[in-house]
Amino acid sequence: MKSKILEEMNKQINEELFSGYLYYSMSAYFESVGLPGFAHWMRTQALEEQEHAHRFYNYINERGGDVKLQAIEAPQTEWSSPLQIFEAAYKHEQHITGRINKLVEIAQEEKDHASVNFLQWFVAEQVEEEASADEVVQRLKLVEGSKGGLFMIDREMAQRVYALNPEVTF
């Protein structure tokens, strides 16, 4: 692997691990305010982000690169509402989309076709990640001020299931 794409992929491992850390923090907040369904949704999201980090980790190793882990920044721990949390999650996913797009651009510039191909999974995944967070934002806006509506959404959020992708080895 060329040094520039390798360096950026190592940074992306950190971004994905931070994402998991952020979602665990959001989950802890939801637990603390008595919304276990939202907490479950965020823990599931955290697991997905860890899987994304493992995809980059495995890819770097498969290509003969050196994985260089970096310190993970402490995430925010307090929010004012479930809506504020999901707006932050949506904004964060937009940030990750920008990072993935930057990686694709670097891989294209370096004519690293294997990396361009590898990154296409993440391009598609980010469409889903943004849509998923935004869907909850929109639903929370619809029920804003309704404790009953919030309760119903919380119950629905508890139904999310995480299925480990068999392509990703841990």
- Mean per-residue pLDDT for 71-76? 97
- Mean per-residue pLDDT for 46-54? 97
Q: How many domains does the chain have?
A: 1
- Mean per-residue pLDDT for 98-121? 98
Backbone angles phi, psi at 62, to 5 degrees: -60, -35
Residue 166 has pLDDT above 80, yes or no: no
Any idea what DSSP says for residue 80?
A: S
Is 166 within the bounds of a domain?
no
User: Residue type for 64, please?
Assistant: G
Is 21 within the bounds of a domain?
yes
Q: Which two tokens stand for residue 10?
A: 């190592």
pLDDT score for 165: 75
pLDDT score for 169: 67
Is 67 within the bounds of a domain?
yes
Residue 168 has pLDDT above 80, yes or no: no
Q: Which two tokens stand for residue 2?
A: 């060329």
Is 120 within the bounds of a domain?
yes
What is the DSSP track for 111-128? T-HHHHHHHHHHHHHHHH
Is 167 within the bounds of a domain?
no
List Cβ neighbours of 56 (8 Å cut-off, separation of 6 or more): 9, 12, 13, 16
Is 152 within the bounds of a domain?
yes
> Which residue, among 163, 157, 162, has the nearest Cα to 41 in the 3D structure?
157
pTM reported for the whole predicted model? 0.94
> Which residue, among 68, 97, 54, 77, has the nearest Cα to 3 in the 3D structure?
68
- Mean per-residue pLDDT for 45-53? 97
pLDDT score for 170: 62
Supply the range of the domain harboring residue 144: 3-157
Residue 162 has pLDDT above 90, yes or no: no
- Mean per-residue pLDDT for 65-91? 97
Is 162 within the bounds of a domain?
no
pLDDT score for 94: 98
Count of CB atoms within 10 A of residue 144's CB?
Answer: 12
- Mean per-residue pLDDT for 51-68? 97
- Mean per-residue pLDDT for 1-9? 96
Calpha distance 9→69 (Å, rounded): 10
Average pLDDT over all residues of the chain: 96
Is 168 within the bounds of a domain?
no
CB 24 within 8 A of CB 72: no
Q: Which two tokens stand for residue 18?
A: 């931070």
pLDDT score for 2: 94
pLDDT score for 76: 97
When mean pLDDT is compared across 21-30, 128-137, 144-153, 161-170, the lowest value belongs to: 161-170
Q: What is the CATH number of the domain that holds 100?
A: 1.20.1260.10
